[in-house]
Amino acid sequence: MLLPSTIIGAGAWGNALAGLVRSPVQVWSRRSAVTLKEAVTGSELVISAVSMAGVNEMVDRLQNIITPGQIIVTTTKGLDLATNLTPAQIWAAAFPQNSIVVLSGPNLSAEIQQGLPAATVVASSDHSAAQKVQTAFSSSQFRVYTNDDPLGVELGGTVKNVMAIAAGTCDGLSLGSNAKAGLLTRGLAEIVRIGTHWGANPETFYGLSGLGDLLATCSSSLSRNYQVGYGLAEGRSLSEILAQLEGTAEGVNTTKVLMQISRQNQVELPITTMVDRALQGQITPAEALTALMLRDNRPE
């Protein structure tokens, strides 16, 4: 018998997840009639579907509420600007007695809410916890795989948001399929580079949470990060784009964190660098493309 679950965050992704969980589920937000403690108490899975900006606040609020037997599932795709930590790393530091599971994959919430099929990955150093989450979410609509590399699964879903901004720019400039294929291929290489520097298994990035999420997010106008890039290509400012966006484009903040890591550790991230300059208005999308095309010749 599946025990109750609590989803924290009633945005598009939180509501989409609620439709997938096979156990009794409660979605909690600040507008809920019950307190956070009441919502979480008694749940086997505590599923965080908040934006990166809300992770630290939620961690603080759950202190003295979470009990050791509860499994914390993080679905946030972002990086903390102050510490460079991933959401799972933040949860693990705050709740060392709890199993932390990362859920990530090519999961556009609008398609899931329409009942369209999808697949995802749940990853944890605790295989038993990952299997429990797999069982809770698996259905004929939603296929769930387990993985023992939570860092790689998390970073694949996070860093690909930066590439989605670049892909949106590519399409907004009508550069064609050849250019986009080249961009995504080199984008994947960049994801692997940053991920392996961080200590993740390079093979993870060729799975659903890396390549799979990259293909979905960089090919769909449903992606908020793609919409940011497309808007930049249309000549709109970042502030204008974000004001009209429904939800958070995590790739904007992730780009800033990756640039910090690149400078501190001398990790070469050419696409991320051009995305960062375009987001800051230092360069136009067309100029960014030219800069990438004119980089020094080298072996693949």
Q: Which residues are catalytic?
A: 160
H-run or E-run covering 189: helix 177-198
Q: What angle do CA 282, 288, 290 make, to 5 degrees?
A: 135
Contact (Cβ atoms closer than 8 angstroms) between residue 262 and residue 273: yes
Contact (Cβ atoms closer than 8 angstroms) between residue 123 and residue 148: yes
Q: Cα(first)–Cα(last) distance of the chain, in Å?
A: 51
Contact (Cβ atoms closer than 8 angstroms) between residue 198 and residue 190: no
For 149, residues 6+ apart whose C-beta sits below 8 A from its C-beta are 123, 200, 201, 204
Contact (Cβ atoms closer than 8 angstroms) between residue 227 and residue 219: no
Q: What angle do CA 21, 57, 112 make, to 5 degrees?
A: 25
Instruction: Name the amino acid, one letter, at 228.
Output: V
Instruction: Name the amino acid, one letter, at 167.
Output: A
